């Protein structure tokens, strides 16, 4: 909401109100618009500007664009499944907020999980996070210190339901990245959104097993709100006495959010007003 319009710039304090600032959990992302501040943690935005400095159309555009810049929300139904493929059925399912499995015990779009033994494998840490805001949906999964092995391999699937990356009937950009350290097993994986998969990325260990690895791939997908996005990672048997750690990220993003057009329109209106106010 628009909090208020001060009568003069002294109420703003020196050099305040010159940047549009989005406060997301754990990060700050500044932009170059003027005199708008958005406070996602409070679920509100505050707009301040000099009296009569903006045209009515520019003010409307700024207010609407601020409305599009929604709070950095968590996606829903975040889940991790872990399966030793040499045995039938899924061996372990962890849902966001599961008491005893998700260590924070809160439904917040983050899973923090400790030590697990699944079939012939041991995983020292398994984490996942999902965010859904500003035309971008992101899903990240991290497997720490995977050891052991089986003839079938280990499969880790992380999934959640999203909305921000949807752009139907137009396509969204879909990207998948996979990387890590201590490559002591074969590793392969892909991402998927709305039933559209990315290409599969695959890695094989070198002779010393300490190689870092990283690759990414991208495609496009027509996504409707809501859509399910997931990553699937397959890990082969890990060399005895060694381990493998990795991180996988899937992102679905609208190429140019509608809010972008509104922001550009607001800047244009402000520039026009400044030109008219210049002394002859």
| CATH number where 214 lies | 2.60.120
**How far is the C-alpha of 228 from the C-alpha of 223, rounded, in Å?**
9
**Do 94 and 198 belong together in one domain?**
yes
More confident residue, 19 or 268: 268
**How far is the C-alpha of 139 from the C-alpha of 137, rounded, in Å?**
7
The pLDDT confidence band at residue 81, using thresholds 50, 70 and 90, is very high
Please check whether residue 1 lies inside any domain of the structure: no
Q: Indicate the range of 13-27, 114-128, 165-179, 235-249 predicted with least confidence.
A: 13-27
pLDDT at 44: 44
Domain hosting residue 48, numbered range? 9-71+257-277
**Do 172 and 40 belong together in one domain?**
no
**Do 61 and 90 belong together in one domain?**
no
Average pLDDT value over all residues in the chain: 75
- DSSP state, residue 241: T
- pLDDT at 15 exceeding the cut of 60: no
- pTM of the full structure: 0.67
**How far is the C-alpha of 204 from the C-alpha of 236, rounded, in Å?**
9
pLDDT at 211: 77
- pLDDT at 209 exceeding the cut of 70: no
**How far is the C-alpha of 11 from the C-alpha of 271, rounded, in Å?**
23
Q: What percentage of residues in the chain have a pLDDT greater than 90?
A: 52
Query: Is the separation of the CB atoms in 109 and 77 below 8 Å?
Result: no
**Do 136 and 203 belong together in one domain?**
yes
- pLDDT at 53 exceeding the cut of 90: no
Please check whether residue 3 lies inside any domain of the structure: no
Q: Indicate the range of 114-118, 172-176, 260-264 predicted with least confidence.
A: 260-264
Report the domain count for the chain: 2
**Do 41 and 154 belong together in one domain?**
no
């Amino acid at each position: 909401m628009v909090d208020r319009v001060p009568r003069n710039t002294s109420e703003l304090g020196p050099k305040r109100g010159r940047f549009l600032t989005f406060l997301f959990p754990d990060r700050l992302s500044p932009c170059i618009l003027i005199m708008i501040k958005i406070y996602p943690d409070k679920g509100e935005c505050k707009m301040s500007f000099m009296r009569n400095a903006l045209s009515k159309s520019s003010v409307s555009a700024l207010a609407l664009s601020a409305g599009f810049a929604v709070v950095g929300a968590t996606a829903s139904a975040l889940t991790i499944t872990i399966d030793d493929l040499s045995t039938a059925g899924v061996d372990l399912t962890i849902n966001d907020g599961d008491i005893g499995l998700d260590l924070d015990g809160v439904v917040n779009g983050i899973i923090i999980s400790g030590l697990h033994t699944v079939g012939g494998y041991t995983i020292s840490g398994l984490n996942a996070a999902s965010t859904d805001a500003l035309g971008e949906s992101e899903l990240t999964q991290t497997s720490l210190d995977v050891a052991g092995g089986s003839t079938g391999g280990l499969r880790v699937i992380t999934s959640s339901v999203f909305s921000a990356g949807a752009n139907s009937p137009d396509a969204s950009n879909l990207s998948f990245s996979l990387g890590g350290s201590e490559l002591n097993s074969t590793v392969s994986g892909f991402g998927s959104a709305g039933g559209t998969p990315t290409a599969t990325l695959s890695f094989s260990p070198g002779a010393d097993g300490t190689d870092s690895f990283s690759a990414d791939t991208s495609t496009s997908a027509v996504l409707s709100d809501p859509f399910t996005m997931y990553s699937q990672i397959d890990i082969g048997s890990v060399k005895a006495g060694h381990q493998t750690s990795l991180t996988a990220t899937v992102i679905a993003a609208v190429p140019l959010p509608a809010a972008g057009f509104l922001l550009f329109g607001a800047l244009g209106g402000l520039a026009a007003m400044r030109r008219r106010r210049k002394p002859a």
